[in-house]
Amino acid sequence: MKIGDLAKRTHTRVETIRFYEKEGLLPAPGRSGGNYRIYEQAHLNRLSFIRRSRDLGFTLDQVRKLMKLADDRDAPCAEVNAITAANIAEIDRKLADLGALRAELVRRLECCEGPTIADCRIIEALAPDTREGKQRPE
Amino acid sequence: MKIGDLAKRTHTRVETIRFYEKEGLLPAPGRSGGNYRIYEQAHLNRLSFIRRSRDLGFTLDQVRKLMKLADDRDAPCAEVNAITAANIAEIDRKLADLGALRAELVRRLECCEGPTIADCRIIEALAPDTREGKQRPE
DNA sequence: TATGCACCCTGAAGCCACTATAGGGTCAAG
DNA sequence: CTTGACCCTATAGTGGCTTCAGGGTGCATA
Ligand SMILES: [Zn+2]
Ligand SMILES: [Zn+2]
Ligand SMILES: [Zn+2]
Ligand SMILES: [Zn+2]
C-alpha cells in the first residue's frame, strides 16, 4: 500500500502521515525500488488508532501513551480512564468558556444601535473610555 | 508609564506587549534615556481594546479590522456585526463538536470493563479490529 | 520515443498567538 | 558598590499540522 492509499483509507493527508512518522507515532515502513513508502495492514491499524484518538480530542502525547498502554494487554486501565477523564474535564472547561463567550457576543450584537460606528455598542463595549476628555488621542 | 506598569494595568505579559508592537497592533511608543519604552494613555486604551477583543475570541486579524473600524466613527457597523456574527457561528460549531465529543468520551468511560487493558472498552473502541485473525500484528 | 500527468520524495518554512530563553543593560535603594 | 527589580534585543520553541521549493518515479498516451 502506498502512502496515498493509506491516506485515503484513513482520511488523513499524506503530509500528516509523514509528519506522524517523523514524530515517532507511526513506525517507518519499508520502501519500494523507487523509494516509495510501502505500508502493511499493521500501519493502517496504528494510523486508524491515532486518527480516532485525535478525533476524540486526545493530544499526540496522550495518543502516544494510549498506544503504549494498548500494546500491553495486562496493564491496568486506570491510566486510560485517567487520560479520558482529564479530557472530559478539559472539554467541560472549554464548553463553559465558549458558552459565556457566546452569550456575551450575542448580547453585544443585539445591542448594536448603528448604523455607524459612532453609535455601535459592540465597538463601544470594546473600547475604553475616551469620551470624557481625560486624555487626548495620540 | 513603563512596560511593566502597562502590563499590570491590562493584565498582559510584558512579552505579549512587545509582541503586539512587533505585529503592528500597538504603535511603538517613545523611549526614555535608558531606551525603555514609555507609554501614554492612548497606548493603554489601544491595548485594552486588543485584550478585550481577544478575550471575546476575536483573532488578531479581526482585532486589526475592528480597530480600523473603531477609528472611523462614520463607517457603517455592518462589518463589525458581520465579524461578531462570524465568531458566534464559529463558537456554535465548536460547542456542537465539543458536546458530541464529551458524550462519546463519557460513554466510553462508563463502558470500561477493566481492570486490565485486555477488557478495556475505551482502548477497544479506539483500536481497529485485530481479533478476527484477518491480519497479524507487525 | 517523447510527453504528460499523477503520484512520490526530502527538507525547510509557515501558521496562530504567544511563551521562553540567552545574554546583556538601567536604575534606585541600602 | 552591590543587589535586585526591572528593562532591552534576538532567537527559538509550543502543537499539530500545512505549504512550499525543487526535485524523482511510474504508467499511459501521441
Ligand atoms: Zn442593549
Ligand atoms: Zn454596531
Ligand atoms: Zn457499555
Ligand atoms: Zn478500561
> What mean pLDDT is reported for chain A?
88
Write down the pLDDT at residue A131.
Answer: 47
Closest C-alpha to A123, from B43, B72, B60? B72
pTM score, whole prediction: 0.81
Write down the pLDDT at residue A11.
Answer: 95
pLDDT-derived band at B129 (thresholds 50, 70, 90) equals: low
Distance from residue A83's CA to the centre of ligand 3 (Å) = 19
Mean predicted confidence (pLDDT) in A28-51:
96
CB A125 within 8 A of CB A113: no
Residues of B in contact with A92 (CB under 8 A): 102
Residue B130 clears pLDDT 80, i.e. is over it: no
Residue A116 is nearest to which of B49, B74, B87, comparing CB atoms?
B74
pLDDT digits (tens, 9 = 90+) for B80-100: 999 999 999 989 998 998 898
Residues of B in contact with A27 (CB under 8 A): 138
pLDDT digits (tens, 9 = 90+) for B98-116: 898 899 889 888 888 878 9
Q: Which of residues 82-121 of B touch A (CB under 8 A)?
A: 84-85, 87-88, 91-92, 94-95, 98-99, 101-102, 104-106, 108-109, 112, 114-120
Judge whether B79 is closer than 8 Å to chain A, CB to CB: no
Q: Which of A28-42, A68-82, A99-113, A116-130 has the highest mean pLDDT?
A: A28-42
Residue B20 clears pLDDT 90, i.e. is over it: yes
- Higher-pLDDT residue of A133 and B122 is B122
Q: A117–B40: do the CB atoms touch at under 8 Å?
A: no
CB A45 within 8 A of CB B128: yes
CB A77 within 8 A of CB B122: yes
Measure the CA–CA gap between A138 and B43, rounded to whole angstroms: 8
